[in-house]
Structure 1
Amino acid sequence: MKKIGSILIGLMMGIVNAQDLESYILEAEANNPEVQAFEIRYNISKERVGEANALPNTEVSAGVFVSEPETRTGAQKARFSVKQMLPWFGTITARENYANAVAEVDYLDIAIAKRKLRLSVSQSYYRLYAIKEKQKVLDENIQLLETYERLALTSVEVGDASAVDVLRLQIRQNELQEQKEVLMQEYLSEQSVFNNLLNRKETLAIDLIDSLAITNEMEQITMELEPHPELEKYDRLYESVAESEILNQREANPNLGFGLDYIPVAERAGMDFSDNGKDILMPMVSLSIPIFSNRYKSRSVQNELRQEEINAQKTNRKNRLETVLNTSINKKEAAKIKFNTQKKNLKQARNAEEILIKNYETGTIDFNDVLDIQELQLKFQTTQIEAVKSYYSQMAVINYLTSQ
């Protein structure tokens, strides 16, 4: 499937944050225990390829005749046997191919785990960035309210404002301080999430980018959902079932066996003839025939059904990924629209603030209007930060789905 969409060049892991975020992602890929577990599973699967080369155990047996049978050349004393069964031609190769196919599936699990880890680290990074920026905005607004408070106190002295205006400004400062402290707790919680993804101490500080913005530099590119490890995994599963069926057909053939029997014979006393006491050496060939082959037929039916199931699962997963991709593209564009709208609103709110400050010179400042404008500015700034976070988070999702 091909999707044509508009995305920003260099935003996801872009110029502004490539070094910092990318280094965190590389550290996570190297240390994350989930990725390490998938790598160990893959190594186990590779070892099974060597296991597939193994032949059945060699059978060695020995026995002593309690009642020694007499033959023309003497009495048989004991019996020693050795036998080796061999699978039908091509069976061992089929086993190796099947083991390799299973290992390829496990290898794709590593690629999927790393992609998901990259997505999780990126989104956690952007959440931390948003919290940090909101804290900055709250600090700026608290300082702004302190300035208004000083103006209000001056106005109270000259009778142009009441003490209620001062108290309302102080209450608003308390509310912003409360929000700042709550954000600090959110930051510590998200910091723990981020550091756990990197498998390191939860309290380690995180170096965040100074600023992120949404620019208007756009370029049309082709976004392809395939090849994607999640979809490619179904192809590999399908191939592994095909290899399993080839192995099943090989195992349905007879097995060959080669052996050797050795029987020591005692000499007959008082007799002189050729071959007196000559030991018996008997080479043997055996054939194991699967006469009752219902299990092999059943396996073939199961493999065919399994392939149909895998095709259905792939179609379902592809539809889900396409839905996620389209949703992320739309959310990204919505975040850009919201960012630009809040940028305009913020500019107008600051113009209104300048008008209020100029009115202070004439003694006509209304501190109710001051609080309203300040609240609007905070709302616009917070919404703008959320838009940036949403934009980059959706870019991380798009990158997860479309990057090669």
Structure 2
Amino acid sequence: MKRSILFMLFIIYIAAEKQVFAQADSLMHYLTVAAENNPALRVEFLNYRASLEKIPQAGAIPDPQLEMGFFLKPMEIIDGKQVADFKLMQMFPWFGTRRAARSEMAEMARMSYEQFRQKRENLFFDVKSAWWGLQNLQQQLTNIGENKVLLTSLKTLALQRFASPLTQGVSNSGGAARNMSATTSLPPAGGMSSEMGGMATTGATGVMANPSSSGAQTSSGMGKMPGSSGMTAGSQGGMSNVLRIDMELNELLNEEQAILSQITSATAKFNTLLNRSADEVIVLPDTITQLAFSVDNSSMLEAIRRQNPMLSMATAEAAAYEAKLRMDKRMGLPMIGIGLQYSVISKRMAMGIPTTDMNGKDMLMPMLSLTIPLYRNKYRAQQNESRLMREAAADKYQSALNDLTAEYLSVREQLANAQRKITLYEQQRQLALVTYQLAVNEFAAGIGSIANVLDVERQLLDYKLKRSEAVATYNTVIAMIENLLSDTQTE
């Protein structure tokens, strides 16, 4: 009965997941595929089903014994000749022994099930970790693409400045600043909204007021210096600005190819967990999203005590040895046997000896047997063994609980660190975006250098990549907590 219930619960678990989470780009979809196809997980499940078959074996009574004997020469007895004997004996263990044996095997089967659960949760963690790693690589690829668009727009601006007359570098610096938005369109980076673009424009206006005045003073001051062409050449930079942008684009192309190579190997590893072809296509969401997760230490630790497979396995092991101890005590008591003996008797001819009515009648004799457990040392040793193993299982539970508690506290700290990094890199990304737009405005106005723009662009990309990696780490740490809780949650 217990076997059927547990098996049906597992089937319902898989069916419910397939029905609710059927999207091809859903993590739960791939978890379901892994649960159905992974051969290592299937081995553990088959071992669990095999352990269920031991329960009826442990609760079975011994097979009956049939003894048959034939006399080569019929034995003369009073009122007949004994030809053959048949004995049938059935032994029964002491009351409660079979129930204790079934309980022991049921707890052993529960241990096997918890081992299967642990294997399943470890597999789910591997799938989740590979999933978030793939999403991180995909997001980094998107971030590099966004920065390539920024550099392409910047290259267009640099080409326009290179093609313009040199004398416009000073006299029309204010006009270049005013017409920059008309000549160059800078898309928002990293999924920034129009509100961010508005903030950047407002910031540019507020900050550019002083640089314009200082730029005018500088131009005025340089007009008094012998030869003003140095400022013009320094502001425009000539064709070297375009070449430096091309160098940066080449660096991005190289990083893009490296990430594509990493995606190929990560996809193969992910498909291996699902027992699929290495080149099977993995459908990923467009952007990586930070999972919503709240931490309550008391409730988390209590959930770990209730649900973690390692603790449940230790509990089942202690219960199995407790049942074995009860069985060992009853094994030290007598076994009772009930049987029949049937004797085949032929008639004896009257040879001067009188016969009775019993002449030639077969005999049926009920029998009762009893084993005598006389040698007690082995029974005492069995009971002591079970007690010691039960105590060892209790200590194993406490040791596992201590390890899981320490692991949870460590993982909780990792989660807090990942959250701090996400917040920091998001703030830095926004500041880098505003700084980049200001640097482009200064470059267009002739008061900034292309080196400053490229430095800020590299910082902007770096913060994007770090934020994506921090989000992937945060979600992976959540998967670690779910592994401790044996509770799978996805978006």
Name which of 287, 290, 306 aligns with 1:227. 306
Q: Secondary structure at the match of 1:246?
A: helix
| CA 1:89–1:82: 2 relative to 1, 3 Å | same
Pairing 1:251–2:331 present: yes
The residue that corresponds to 2:267 in the other structure is 191
How big is each residue's C-alpha offset from its partner over 1:281-317, in whole Å with a ceiling of 9 and x where there is no partner?
3322211122113222112111122122212222221
The residue that corresponds to 1:341 in the other structure is 424
The residue that corresponds to 1:172 in the other structure is 248
Confirm or deny: 8 A CA contact 1:61 1:82 kept in the other structure: yes
1:351 Cα deviation (Å)?
Answer: 2.3
* Alpha-carbon separation, structure 1, partners of 2:313 and 2:478: 24
Name which of 443, 458, 462 aligns with 1:379. 462
What one-letter code is carried by the residue in structure 2 that aligns with 1:114?
R
Confirm or deny: 8 A CA contact 2:289 2:471 kept in the other structure: yes
1:388 Cα deviation (Å)?
Answer: 0.7
* Alpha-carbon separation, structure 1, partners of 2:95 and 2:295: 57
* Alpha-carbon separation, structure 1, partners of 2:348 and 2:241: 130
Pairing 1:389–2:472 present: yes
| CA 1:265–1:334: 2 relative to 1, 3 Å | same
Confirm or deny: 8 A CA contact 2:147 2:457 kept in the other structure: yes
1:280 Cα deviation (Å)?
Answer: 3.3
* Alpha-carbon separation, structure 2, partners of 1:312 and 1:167: 69
Name which of 344, 349, 356 aligns with 2:439. 356
In proportion to residue count, which structure has more helix? 2
What one-letter code is carried by the residue in structure 1 that aligns with 2:264?
L
* Alpha-carbon separation, structure 2, partners of 1:116 and 1:177: 37
| CA 1:85–1:188: 2 relative to 1, 3 Å | same
Paired residues for 1:91-102 under 5 Å: 91-102=97-108
Name which of 5, 11, 27 aligns with 1:21. 27
Deviates more, 1:338-347 or 1:140-149: 140-149
Which protein has the larger Cα radius of gyration, Structure 1 or Structure 2? 2
TM-score normalised over the length of structure 1: 0.86
Q: Secondary structure at the match of 1:201?
A: coil
What one-letter code is carried by the residue in structure 1 that aligns with 2:306?
P
Percent identity for Structure 1 against Structure 2: 26
1:133 Cα deviation (Å)?
Answer: 0.2
Q: Secondary structure at the match of 1:76?
A: strand
1:69 Cα deviation (Å)?
Answer: 2.9
Paired residues for 1:38-187 under 5 Å: 38-157=44-163, 160-187=236-263
What one-letter code is carried by the residue in structure 2 that aligns with 1:169?
I
Deviates more, 1:231-240 or 1:260-269: 260-269
The residue that corresponds to 1:14 in the other structure is none
RMSD: 2.8
The residue that corresponds to 2:321 in the other structure is 241
Confirm or deny: 8 A CA contact 1:155 1:161 kept in the other structure: no
| CA 1:164–1:19: 2 relative to 1, 3 Å | closer
* Alpha-carbon separation, structure 1, partners of 2:109 and 2:295: 39
* Alpha-carbon separation, structure 2, partners of 1:60 and 1:145: 94
Confirm or deny: 8 A CA contact 2:27 2:128 kept in the other structure: yes
Name which of 353, 365, 370 aligns with 1:282. 365
1:242 Cα deviation (Å)?
Answer: 0.2
1:364 Cα deviation (Å)?
Answer: 4.2
How big is each residue's C-alpha offset from its partner over 1:193-239, in whole Å with a ceiling of 9 and x where there is no partner?
33333333333322323334559997868423321232122111111
* Alpha-carbon separation, structure 2, partners of 1:33 and 1:252: 44
- In the alignment of these two chains, the number of paired residues is 388
* Alpha-carbon separation, structure 2, partners of 1:46 and 1:403: 22
* Alpha-carbon separation, structure 2, partners of 1:192 and 1:216: 29
Deviates more, 1:260-269 or 1:248-257: 260-269
Name which of 337, 355, 366 aligns with 1:273. 355
Deviates more, 1:269-278 or 1:98-107: 269-278
Confirm or deny: 8 A CA contact 2:136 2:288 kept in the other structure: no
Confirm or deny: 8 A CA contact 2:268 2:278 kept in the other structure: yes
Pairing 1:209–2:291 present: no
Q: Secondary structure at the match of 1:202?
A: coil
Q: Secondary structure at the match of 2:53?
A: helix
How big is each residue's C-alpha offset from its partner over 1:233-269, in whole Å with a ceiling of 9 and x where there is no partner?
2111111110011111111111111222222223223
Question: Could you list the runs of 5+ residues in structure 2 that have no partner in the other structure?
Answer: 1-22, 167-232
| CA 1:156–1:91: 2 relative to 1, 3 Å | same
The residue that corresponds to 2:198 in the other structure is none
Confirm or deny: 8 A CA contact 1:214 1:336 kept in the other structure: no
The residue that corresponds to 1:3 in the other structure is none
The residue that corresponds to 1:330 in the other structure is 413
Deviates more, 1:287-296 or 1:270-279: 270-279
Confirm or deny: 8 A CA contact 2:25 2:283 kept in the other structure: no
Deviates more, 1:383-392 or 1:103-112: 103-112
* Alpha-carbon separation, structure 2, partners of 1:362 and 1:286: 111
What one-letter code is carried by the residue in structure 2 that aligns with 1:111?
R
* Alpha-carbon separation, structure 2, partners of 1:400 and 1:226: 13
How big is each residue's C-alpha offset from its partner over 1:48-100, in whole Å with a ceiling of 9 and x where there is no partner?
22222322122122222234432233332222222211111121112222222
TM-score normalised over the length of structure 2: 0.72
Deviates more, 1:207-216 or 1:391-400: 207-216
| CA 1:284–1:179: 2 relative to 1, 3 Å | same
Confirm or deny: 8 A CA contact 2:288 2:468 kept in the other structure: no
How big is each residue's C-alpha offset from its partner over 1:166-219, in whole Å with a ceiling of 9 and x where there is no partner?
444333322222222221222222222333333333333223233345599978
Question: Could you list the runs of 5+ residues in structure 1 that have no partner in the other structure?
Answer: 1-16
* Alpha-carbon separation, structure 2, partners of 1:340 and 1:55: 67
Confirm or deny: 8 A CA contact 2:321 2:390 kept in the other structure: yes
| CA 1:370–1:100: 2 relative to 1, 3 Å | same
